[in-house]
Amino acid sequence: MNKMNKKGLLLVISGPSGVGKGTVLAKYKENAPQMKMSVSATTRNPRPGEEHGREYYFVTKEQFEKAAVSGEMLEYASYSGNFYGTPKKAVYDKLNEGFDVVLEIEIQGAMQIKNKCPEAVLIFILPPSYEELENRLLKRQTETPEAVEKRMETAKKELLAARNYDYVIVNDDIEKAAEKLNYIIEGARCLSSQNQNILESIEKSIK
């Protein structure tokens, strides 16, 4: 634990493909050295430029199943035909050292975290509108029209789950969205549940 003897915050961030989660997080991270991104395990193949241990731990289906069965995953889910999961130990170690930990995960995993870790703060990044999300995906031009359609189908399901999150941030402007994320995190740091140590020490001193 750090010198304040205070645990970090567990943050879960979700949002549909093309909403700009990664960009908002990167912007927020510029001024937040105490934030650590959790590195997930996945059975999907690395994309060009991705590195084992940096973006993901790229593992086989057998390795993933073994880790999941032996309880090494804090949550896991199947998404687009592959498995994705959060290694438990790394997350708890970082939280205990006082770092905030961000899980950028899809909705099934986020709901598992909500059940298992009630102290986690769940944030959903929304597009300004459904049409705008479609435009952004089409503009990327990295996907075929069929792939865009498939992503939009998935996005529909994801957007309908946004109500289950604690906070929603509309990403109509990256700077503003990152600022809102900062306010949410600052607010969460002031939760009484996050400040048990100081509360206990004050309570002791007045007894």
Residues that bind ligand 5GP (CB under 6 A): 40, 44, 75-77, 79, 84-86, 104-106, 108-109
Nearer to ligand 5GP, 47 or 204 (CB): 47
| Residue whose Cβ sits closest to ligand 5GP | 109
CB of 107 to ligand 5GP, least distance (A): 8
Nearer to ligand 5GP, 9 or 155 (CB): 155
- The C-alpha angle 85, 88, 90, rounded to 5 degrees, equals 110
Nearer to ligand 5GP, 75 or 100 (CB): 75
CB of 34 to ligand 5GP, least distance (A): 21
Chain-centroid distance, C-alpha 7: 18
Nearer to ligand 5GP, 40 or 171 (CB): 40
Q: With contact defined as beta carbons under 8 Å apart, do 114 and 122 qualify?
A: yes
Task: Identify the helix (H) or strand (E) that includes residue 91.
Answer: helix 88-96
Q: CB within 8 A of 68, min separation 6: which ones?
A: 76, 83, 85
Nearer to ligand 5GP, 4 or 69 (CB): 69
CB of 104 to ligand 5GP, least distance (A): 5
Token pair of 79, please? 């998404």
CB of 12 to ligand 5GP, least distance (A): 10
Nearest to residue 57, comparing CAs of 30, 33, 89, 25?
A: 89
Nearest to residue 131, comparing CAs of 108, 156, 114, 113?
A: 156
CB of 94 to ligand 5GP, least distance (A): 15
Nearest to residue 169, comparing CAs of 122, 131, 132, 107?
A: 122
